[in-house]
Amino acid sequence: LLLRWRRRSGLWRKVKEARQRQERSLVQMEMAVRRFREQHPSVNMISILSLPLPELCKKLQDGSLPPDHVFYAYVGKALQIATETNCITEYLQESETQLRKAKLTGKLGLLYGVPVSIKDSIDCQGHDSTLGFIKNLNKPAAEDSVVVQVLRRQGAIPFVKTNVPQSLISYDCKNLIFGQTFNPLLYTRSPGGSSGGEGALIGGGGSILGFGTDVGGSLRFPAAFCGICALKPTGNRLRPPTMNALFWSLPVVAAVGPMAKDVESLALCMRALLCEDMFNLDSTVPPLPFNEEVFSSTQPLRIGYYETDFFTMPSPAMRRAVRETKQLLEDAGHTLVPFELMNVDYVIFNFCVRGMFADGGASFLKKFKGELEKSSMGLFLWLAKSPHWLKTLLSWIAKPFVPRFSHIVRSMRTNTVDEVWSLHHEIEEFCHQFTAQWKKLNLDVMLCPMLGPALGIGYPGKLSVAVSYTMLYNALDFPAGVVPVTMVTDEDEEELKSYKGYFQDWWDRTLAKAFHGSVGLPVAVQCVALPWQEELCLRFMKEVETL
């Protein structure tokens, strides 16, 4: 007992130090901004913050806007948003040194002088990548991740790291170290996750460009919940996060991607990243530069669409978002073709859950060993600890009453090597079938629903099954982007009263409650393309955004 008490108090001490570091970061930001304002009282911060990224880059390149004016405008705004939403975990003080060097060298990359925010789990030299785990505190990264290295070479200035949920396997944004991050549009709502700190900071206007990771919707949830845009590329189009930081099996593909206020900013970012530096630093990234011709094409598109995946019933606002976007696209001369989704429940249980917990959750459990709090992943941890016979029994008892719970329990059993090989083969087969259906309809891109509006704080943890719309495209490894298209209306709220769900189980009832009281919150759609066609995906997103 004494040893246990000693270990726990040691962990709490680490948490306290980390929180003090976070507070010091905010104080450093405040002092830096105050110093700058005293020296340059006439700088119009508001006009700088209102510039879209392409215009801002142009002004920085031609010298009509000094990089320090832009940098301190965003540090000031980021500080305000961090105070309101608790989205920043650390201020990268070396960014001020980089700013001074950038002014001296005068070497202009595509993102010269642009302040960018970085998700906690992406390595920045000399800073922790905690993933919300106490055991990862005081273990600074030895070097920048490839994405951060390329950003620096393109002239961008990473200036803050942002909050994540513990383990990243959640679409909320809370951990024991830094606490809960709030949605900047409505503080009682979740900002989404796992790139929730990024979503809150960019959604609130405290960053013009940010980077997150996505293994089940972790870029797309925060973008949709906070009313901004994001792109999840094909897994290896940009350097994916190192697998020691993430602990899932290959069936569900992780990706690194950008988040910004508009699509043009995402395109500019991809243009900057898909360069010789990226291809030289990482030979696993295919040397495919940004295809300008595809992105700027005005050819009419042939677009597949669906309103539901028949697993998670869409909220009235989600359904309306797809219908209205479909109508606008048709009016603009594009061809829209209904796409029939098959077996999404099988994909979620058998490929995603079983793929991520192929060893029965043993490696997942190992990550939580010795942590102080695990409540956000309570169900999965409990199942991971349960013996095989108990899972089998539970699955059998629950099947007639809660079929989804029964399937999850069954999917979390330990697989043999042979079964894992078969699983990989099955996923390959599914990808071939899905692509064949896509080609048969001769589609260019796909329009899909995106879970929304933002759920109340605490709800994502109870609704892990609602990731079906996003996780499908991690299993398929297709590029997918999110664009906000509408807001929840009073009519949507009225219609929500008759929301039942497809399974009418506890999860469906909880999701109906989570959607309630959302009038005025943004709702997005997902835009999807075939693997390696990020430019076409962005072109489609731009079309949707413009319309």
The catalytic site residues sit at 119, 194, 218
**Number of Cβ atoms within 10 Å of the Cβ of 267:** 25
Calpha distance 78→84 (Å, rounded): 10
Kindly provide the b/e burial profile for residues 207-218, where b requires at least 16 CB atoms within 10 angstroms of the residue's own CB.
bbbbbbbbbbbb
The residues, any chain, with a CB within 8 Å of residue 460's CB and separated by 6 or more, are: 170, 171, 172, 190, 192, 193, 221, 466
Residue 195 CA, distance from chain mean position: 4
Identify whether the C-beta of residue 152 lies closer than 8 Å to the C-beta of residue 109: no
- Residue 58 has a CB neighbour count (10 Å cut-off) of 12
One-letter amino acid at 499 equals: Y
- Residue in 332, 306, 344, 333 with CA at minimum distance from that of residue 528: 306
Question: Distance of alpha carbon 172 from its chain centroid, rounded?
Answer: 11
DSSP of 309-347: -SSSPPPHHHHHHHHHHHHHHHHTT-EEEE-----HHHI
CA atoms within 13 A on the CB side of 248: 22
Please report, in angstroms and rounded to a whole number, the separation of the first and last CA atoms in the chain: 64
Identity of the residue numbered 342: M
State how beta strands 174-175 and 179-180 pair: antiparallel
Q: Which two tokens stand for residue 490?
A: 């009073």
CA nearest neighbour of 453 among 510, 505, 501, 492: 492
Q: How many CA atoms lie within 13 A of 383 on its CB side?
A: 27
3-state secondary structure of 505: coil
Cβ–Cβ under 8 Å, residues 173 and 294: no
Cβ atoms within 10 Å of 136's Cβ, excluding its own:
17
From the list 155, 147, 159, 60, the residue with the least C-alpha distance to 107 is 155
Helices (H), 40-113: 45-49, 53-62, 67-85, 94-105
> Residue ranges for the binding site?
168, 194, 215-218
DSSP summary character for residue 414: B
Instruction: Give the integer Cα–Cα distance in Å for 441 and 433.
Output: 13
Q: How far apart are CA 139 and CA 153, in angstroms?
A: 25
| Annotated binding-site residue numbers for substrate | 168, 194, 215-218
Is 292 strand, coil or helix? helix
